[in-house]
C-alpha cells in the first residue's frame, strides 16, 4: 500500500511540475502595452520623416530616410476624448534620442537610415496608474476614446506640429505569476 501511495504522490508531483512548466509564467512588473493602428505620418515640410508611431512596449519610434536637423521632440499629451489627462515634457533633439534597430529598406525603396526611440513605460505608469487604477484602460469601463498627441518643434522656424495617434488600444498587465490557458 505504501508503494502505491508513493507512486501516486510521485505522479502527482510530476503532473504539477509539467503543468507549471507548460502553463505558468511570471510577468516581472506591472506594465502597459499599446497597439497603434493609426495611419502613416505625412508631413509635407519633412518628406524625410518616414514614421512616428508607438511600439508594442509603449516606446515612441521615429524613423527617418535621412538625418533631420533642428527637430525637437517637445512633449506628448495623453487624452481621453478632448481632456488632457497627462503630459510628458521631453524637449530633446530627435537626433539625441536612443538609437533603435538597424537600417532597412522601406516599401518605397528608400533606405531608412535613422531609427530613434523614446521609452515611455514609466510615464504610462505615472499617468494611467501603476495598477491601472486611474482610468482602467483596456477594461471596457473607460468612457470615451484614448488618444496620444506628439508635439514636434522645428527649431529653425519655431513652428510646432502635432502628430495625432488616434487609433490606438492600450492594454494593462499586472506583474506576478500567470496561468496560460490555451483556447481550443
β partners of residue 115: 63
Spell out the SS3 assignment of 107-172.
Answer: CCCCEECEEEEECCHHHHHHHHCCCCCCCCCCCCCCCCCEEEEEEEEECCCCEEEEEEECCEEEEE
The pLDDT of residue 13 is 92
Q: Distance (Å, rounded) from C-alpha 101 to C-alpha 104? A: 9
Evaluate whether residue 77 is within a structural domain: yes
Evaluate whether residue 8 is within a structural domain: no
Evaluate whether residue 22 is within a structural domain: no
Query: What is the number of structural domains in the chain?
Result: 1
Q: Distance (Å, rounded) from C-alpha 67 to C-alpha 103? A: 13
Q: Distance (Å, rounded) from C-alpha 70 to C-alpha 156? A: 6
Evaluate whether residue 55 is within a structural domain: yes
Quote the domain boundaries for residue 161: 29-177
Pairing of strands 168-173, 31-36: antiparallel
Sign of the CA dihedral 32, 33, 37, 41? positive
Evaluate whether residue 134 is within a structural domain: yes
Question: Which cell goes with 117?
Answer: 526611440
The pLDDT of residue 184 is 66
Per residue in 43-91, pLDDT (tens digit) is 778 888 888 999 988 999 998 888 888 899 999 999 988 899 999 999 9
Instruction: Indicate the average pLDDT of the chain.
Output: 88
Output the CA angle 40-70-161, nearest 5 degrees. 45
H or E stretch including 3? helix 2-23
Region 101-126: what's the mean pLDDT?
86
The pLDDT of residue 140 is 64
Predicted TM-score of the model (pTM):
0.81
The pLDDT of residue 142 is 65
Per residue in 126-159, pLDDT (tens digit) is 999 998 888 887 766 666 688 999 999 999 999 9
Evaluate whether residue 68 is within a structural domain: yes
Evaluate whether residue 184 is within a structural domain: no
Amino acid at each position: 500500500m505504501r508503494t502505491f501511495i508513493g507512486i501516486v504522490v510521485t505522479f502527482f508531483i510530476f503532473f504539477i511540475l509539467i503543468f507549471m512548466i507548460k502553463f505558468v509564467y511570471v510577468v516581472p512588473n506591472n506594465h502597459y502595452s499599446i497597439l497603434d493602428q493609426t495611419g502613416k505620418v505625412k508631413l509635407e515640410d519633412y518628406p524625410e520623416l518616414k514614421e512616428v508611431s508607438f511600439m508594442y512596449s509603449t516606446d515612441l519610434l521615429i524613423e527617418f530616410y535621412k538625418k533631420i536637423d533642428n527637430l525637437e521632440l517637445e512633449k506628448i499629451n495623453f487624452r481621453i476624448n478632448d481632456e488632457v489627462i497627462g503630459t510628458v515634457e521631453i524637449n530633446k533633439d530627435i537626433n539625441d534620442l536612443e538609437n533603435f534597430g538597424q537600417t532597412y529598406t522601406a516599401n518605397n525603396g528608400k533606405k531608412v537610415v535613422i531609427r530613434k526611440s523614446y521609452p515611455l513605460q514609466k510615464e504610462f505608469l505615472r499617468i494611467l496608474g501603476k495598477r491601472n487604477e486611474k482610468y482602467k484602460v483596456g477594461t471596457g469601463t473607460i468612457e470615451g476614446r484614448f488618444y496620444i498627441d506628439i508635439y514636434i518643434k522645428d527649431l529653425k522656424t519655431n513652428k510646432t506640429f502635432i502628430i495625432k495617434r488616434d487609433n490606438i488600444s492600450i492594454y494593462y498587465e499586472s506583474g506576478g505569476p500567470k496561468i496560460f490557458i490555451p483556447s481550443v
